[in-house]
Amino acid sequence: MENLILKNGFVVDPINNVLGIHDLGIYKGKIDSIKENIDPSSSSEVINLNGKIVMPGHIDTHAHLSSIGGDTWGEDRSFGHKMIAESGTTTVLDLAGNPLLMIEGMKKRGAGLNVACITGLQPGTTIPSEEPKINEIRDVVYKEKKNGAIGLKIVGGYHPFSSEITSDIIFQANNQQAWIALHVGTKDAGSNILGLRDVPEITDKGRLHVAHINSYARGLINTVEEESNEALNLINKMRNQWVTEAYLAEINGTNGLCNEDGDLVFNVAINCMTTRGYEPNENGIRNALLDGYGSALVMKKGRMILVYGEDAVEIWESNLTNQALCFPVNSPVSAFMLTTSKYPEGEFIIDAISTDGGALPRNVAIEKTMSLVNFGALSLDEAVMKLSYNPSRMLGLENRGHFTEGAEADITIVDQNIGKAVMSFVKGKMIMKDGKSLMNGGNWLILSEGKELAEKSGLPYEILDLSKSKLYL
């Protein structure tokens, strides 16, 4: 007896060699069977999908659902739960957040997602200083695991450390088998291809998640094609030590904070200005916003949206320049190259397609990937590998990313006619339909060290074993 039958869907499950019209049976939140026909009378609920694509739920290995705390963003990122759920995603890695803020956001504005959080490192807030001692780094790793994070992110484009400290942080996280991600950038090199060149030496013999590879191939130093090829070659060199993802949205996310002299504070924002010939200061930001090149991020009706022109300038100035901004700096050339490039044996060089979205309104991973399928750059099987299976292997989520009997019934339904997700399920429960979030709360993904806090939170939780993740295999 099934609890739910998804009938007449075009099921895409490359791990089990399923590609075609099938019925999918779900029992107690798990995949029960895939058959050409399941008797509808055997279930209390039947949904006829009329040929829509049925794929394992999208696992986003880079999104934003909480803020570090005390940082320079200002907005409540918990709005991102529903924003990303409405795009069809089912599992999220909150990359550079705060687990304590994330769980409060999940309680207030959750959308039924599976969410793991890694703590962003900001000197004076989540780590003692820009030059922490080895024992201080070790203690931060352990503390954040106890707080429910699965690891740490070094936010080099905003809060860079020296190359030596960056390497020490990676080593200490590896030593405790915590997740460790890097937004490229140090005191010695920026958040660009030059910074990426330094990362193999910084990694040494360690393991590392190098975040949003596309961000280092924006044509700041060489052409976009040259930088994309160099990034791919560096990943090849570090193939057994790095896990990677890239996002497909044209816009990025940064902050327009300026110092007392009117100069931009953050390297990422400086890059956004110089790449289009604007001054990296208050005048440059003002002109970029007035020209429509940049936009300001604000909350409206429970969602974060972009505003342009004089409205954007007014918002930026009213927040004394400490305002989240977006610029269209990501090249479609790098997006195509980085997403589709493979090793000679056929495995993708970059593991996964992410959004770098959540509270940032660029949750287009599924939509843009379907465009690549329609273009002929990816097959449906390959799309599912990039969106679902590979991310599941990255995180060690062995019971997700495929439809094997007994796997979690996390499912994304895509209408290929419009190229968007129209329905999604987590553990067999519908969390989104026709672009509208239907659920609250969520399922907190933690390490064993966070169990005590998770039990006190009252939220459902799952314990991850990162020894099974690609990062540590």
**pLDDT score recorded for residue 76:** 78
Residue of 276, 278, 282 whose CA lies nearest to 316: 282
DSSP 295-361: EEEEEETTEEEEE-HHHHHHHHHHTTT--EEE-----HHHHHHHHH-B-TTS-BSS-EEE-SEESSS
**pLDDT score recorded for residue 75:** 59
Give burial (CB, 10 Å; 0-12/13-18/19+) of 11: buried
**pLDDT score recorded for residue 349:** 98
| Residues of the chain above pLDDT 90, percent | 96
From the centroid of its chain, how far is CA 396?
Answer: 16
- Which tens digits make up the pLDDT trace of 98-108? 999 999 999 99
Q: What is the mean pLDDT of residues 128-141?
A: 98
Count Cα atoms within 13 angstroms, Cβ side, for 25. Answer: 18
**pLDDT score recorded for residue 70:** 45
Residue of 46, 240, 151, 167 whose CA lies nearest to 445: 151
Neighbours of 138 (CB within 10 A): 18
Show the tokens assigned to 70.
Answer: 């005390």
- Which tens digits make up the pLDDT trace of 427-464? 999 999 999 999 999 999 999 999 999 999 999 999 99
User: Cα-flanking dihedrals φ and ψ of residue 111, to 5°?
Assistant: -135, 20
Neighbours of 125 (CB within 10 A): 15
The interaxial angle of helices 282-290 and 267-274, nearest 10 deg, is 60
Neighbours of 278 (CB within 10 A): 20
Q: Residue 71 above 50 pLDDT?
A: no
Q: Report the phi/psi class of residue 219: left, alpha or beta, with left for phi > 0 and alpha for psi in -120 to 50.
A: left
- Model confidence at 77, pLDDT cuts 50, 70, 90, reads confident
Q: Report the phi/psi class of residue 213: left, alpha or beta, with left for phi > 0 and alpha for psi in -120 to 50.
A: alpha
CATH classification (class only), 56-250+330-392+438-473: alpha beta
Q: What is the mean pLDDT of residues 110-125?
A: 97
Q: Residue 151 above 80 pLDDT?
A: yes
Q: What is the mean pLDDT of residues 38-64?
A: 96
- Model confidence at 69, pLDDT cuts 50, 70, 90, reads low
Mean pLDDT (the chain) is: 96
**pLDDT score recorded for residue 440:** 97
Q: For residues 470 and 382, give the distance between their C-alpha atoms in angstroms, rounded to a whole number.
A: 19
Adjacent-strand bridge partners of 462:
445
Neighbours of 302 (CB within 10 A): 10
**pLDDT score recorded for residue 302:** 86
Q: For residues 451 and 146, give the distance between their C-alpha atoms in angstroms, rounded to a whole number.
A: 8
Q: What is the mean pLDDT of residues 32-51?
A: 95
Q: Residue 282 above 50 pLDDT?
A: yes
User: Cα-flanking dihedrals φ and ψ of residue 390, to 5°?
Assistant: -60, -45
Domain locations in the chain as residue ranges: 56-250+330-392+438-473, 251-328
Q: For residues 214 and 197, give the distance between their C-alpha atoms in angstroms, rounded to a whole number.
A: 14
Q: What is the mean pLDDT of residues 70-97?
A: 85
Full-model pTM? 0.96
Which residues in 321-357 are b (16+ Cβ under 10 Å) and which e?
bebbbbbebbbeebbebbbbbeeeeeebbbbbbbbbb
For residue 22, what are the contacts with CB-CB under 8 A and spacing of at least 6?
9, 11, 34, 35, 36, 54
**pLDDT score recorded for residue 72:** 44
Q: What is the mean pLDDT of residues 288-306?
A: 94
Q: What is the mean pLDDT of residues 75-79?
A: 82
Q: Residue 411 above 70 pLDDT?
A: yes
Tell me the three state secondary structure of residue 75: coil
Residues 334/215, Cβ–Cβ less than 8 Å: no
